[in-house]
Amino acid sequence: MSDDLELETLALHTGIHRSQFNEHSEAMYLTSSFVFESAAQAAARFSGDEPGNIYSRFTNPTVTAMQERLAALEGAETCIATASGMSAILACVMGLLSAGDHIIASRSLFGATVNLFSNILNRFKIETTFVSATDVEAWRSAVQANTKLLFLETPSNPLTEISDIAALSTVAKQANAWLVVDNCFCTPILQKPLALGADIVIHSATKYLDGQGRVLGGAVLGNREVLMESGIFGFLRTAGPTLSAFNAWVILKGLETLKIRMEAHSAHALDIAHWLEQQPNVTRVFYPGLPSHPQYELAKRQQATGGGIVTFEVKGGKEAAWRVIDSTRLISITANLGDAKSTLTHPATTTHGRISQEARDAAGITDGLLRIAVGLESPRDLKADLARGL
Ligand SMILES: *Cc1c(COP(=O)(O)O)cnc(C)c1O
């Protein structure tokens, strides 16, 4: 492929390896293993002397196609697909870290990521220090001799805090540590962490990359050396949190429309964020595309638009927040995001319900907070649906 193609073109034309039938749409290879021509070829494939597929826990042509397409969009040398976003994060830390290593992580992370770092990795003697997503000096002060990895999401879930990727990449380089960015909310259409100095990008492909709420998937992206030689791919092929060929195909096709979807999600979200700011029962609106966002300037520099997630706080705490949810007729009450259908969540009792009240307070997840992942419906209809409960 030529180097100077635009993202929407790459999303349609990368990763195509036609079979003998010359199909136009990509084929789906539902097979657990691959046949060898001889015992010698089997041996050569297993030893690595001959490239090629062996077994779908290692590689599969449909998964490879999806990996090539996502890598092209992120501007990454290599992509490793995983069964879910969480298994992408797990593969990353299991591949890169050992007992005794230290992680610095943003305090404003997806709830399951906080749980993984604080309640599972700590059993294997990998300690995590949680710091403010936005305070670069706090990251610098948290660096220890054994710090190996810095981990963040930007914008964060659910408060849409913006971490300065370029500034934190300097901190990571000085600490001789990897900077890992979960790019789930923006996707490569709106933000390119690798170009800003990150070493590794994580995706929950379950969200916008699929884009229609159909399958789970994830990915780790970065340069070949970090992914293939560090042990991330080795962990995946041995431990097996591999993306299925079927899910890879769904995501591969989802990527084809990613750009126009992200543009529409962003435009609808901005419209709804402006409208929410005018509502008397809404105390705060968190959206990086609003000039009232405390990091509006940084967001404008770092990402193309505000994205599709709007979080807002209603007067009256949990009761009032639940009333907004229970008064909807159109918006789905579900914890997923990045779907074509709008979804509404009460973070304090769902996605962030398993973390302690203390950690929730520190992260600013108040009882009146609601997160809407704005879909592709008409914003007029969405506003009418929200207005009922407000
Ligand atoms: C959903 C999500 C994840 C986890 O992805 P799964 O596919 O559900 O495992 C990780 N990070 C962020 C920001 C997410 O929204």
- Give tens-digit pLDDT for 81-97: 999 999 999 999 999 99
Sketch the domain layout of the chain as residue ranges. 7-255, 259-389
Whether pTM exceeds 0.75: yes
- Residue 338 in contact with ligand 1 by CB distance below 6 A: no
- Residue 85 in contact with ligand 1 by CB distance below 6 A: yes
- Residue 371 in contact with ligand 1 by CB distance below 6 A: no
* Residue 41 Cα to ligand 1 middle (Å): 39
Distance CA 84, CA 67 (A): 14
Q: How confident is the model at residue 335 (pLDDT cuts 50, 70, 90)?
A: confident
Pocket residue to mutate for ligand 1, from 185, 206, 209, 244, most atoms within 8 A of Cβ: 206
Strands 147-153, 343-345: pairing is unpaired
Q: Please tell me the CATH code under which domain 259-389 is placed.
A: 3.90.1150.10
- Residue 216 in contact with ligand 1 by CB distance below 6 A: yes
* Residue 281 Cα to ligand 1 middle (Å): 30
- Residue 201 in contact with ligand 1 by CB distance below 6 A: no
Neighbouring C-beta atoms of residue 176, cutoff 10 Å: 10
CATH (one of 3.40.50.2020, 1.10.10.10, 3.40.640.10, 3.40.605.10) for 7-255 = 3.40.640.10
When pLDDT is averaged across residues 264-277 and rounded to a whole number, the result is 98
Q: How far separated are the first and last CA of the chain, in Å rounded? A: 51
Distance CA 387, CA 309 (A): 18
Residues facing 102 on adjacent strands: 127, 147
Distance CA 52, CA 259 (A): 32
Q: In 149-166, which positions are buried (b, 16+ CB within 10 angstroms) versus exposed (e)?
A: bbbbbbbbbbbbbbbbbe
- Secondary structure (3-state) at 290: coil
* Residue 205 Cα to ligand 1 middle (Å): 8
What single-letter amino acid sits at 194? Answer: L
Give, as one character, the DSSP assignment of residue 121.
G
Residues facing 370 on adjacent strands: 312
* Residue 333 Cα to ligand 1 middle (Å): 17
- Residue 157 in contact with ligand 1 by CB distance below 6 A: yes
Residue 280 has pLDDT above 90, yes or no: yes
Helix axes 232-239, 85-96, angle to 10 degrees: 120
On whether the CB atoms of residues 264 and 376 are closer than 8 A, the answer is yes
| pLDDT value, residue 2 | 61
When pLDDT is averaged across residues 202-209 and rounded to a whole number, the result is 98
- Residue 182 in contact with ligand 1 by CB distance below 6 A: yes
Q: How confident is the model at residue 352 (pLDDT cuts 50, 70, 90)?
A: confident
- Residue 84 in contact with ligand 1 by CB distance below 6 A: yes
- What are the C-alpha distances in Å from 171 to residues 63, 177, 320? 34, 9, 42
The two tokens of residue 137 are 């000096």
- Residue 286 in contact with ligand 1 by CB distance below 6 A: no
- Residue 218 in contact with ligand 1 by CB distance below 6 A: yes
When pLDDT is averaged across residues 365-385 and rounded to a whole number, the result is 97
Mean pLDDT computed over every residue of the chain: 96
On whether the CB atoms of residues 87 and 62 are closer than 8 A, the answer is no
* Residue 212 Cα to ligand 1 middle (Å): 15
* Residue 110 Cα to ligand 1 middle (Å): 7
| pLDDT value, residue 371 | 96
Residue 1 has pLDDT above 70, yes or no: no
Distance CA 222, CA 228 (A): 10
Distance CA 154, CA 162 (A): 5
Residue 363 has pLDDT above 80, yes or no: no
Task: Look up tokens 């991330």; give the residue.
Answer: 232
* Identical fold between 7-255 and 259-389: no
- Residue 151 in contact with ligand 1 by CB distance below 6 A: no
| pLDDT value, residue 387 | 98
Give 188's contacts (C-beta < 8 A, 6+ positions apart).
7, 70, 73, 74, 75
- Residue 207 in contact with ligand 1 by CB distance below 6 A: yes
Among 11-15, 328-332, 351-355, the minimum mean pLDDT is found in 351-355
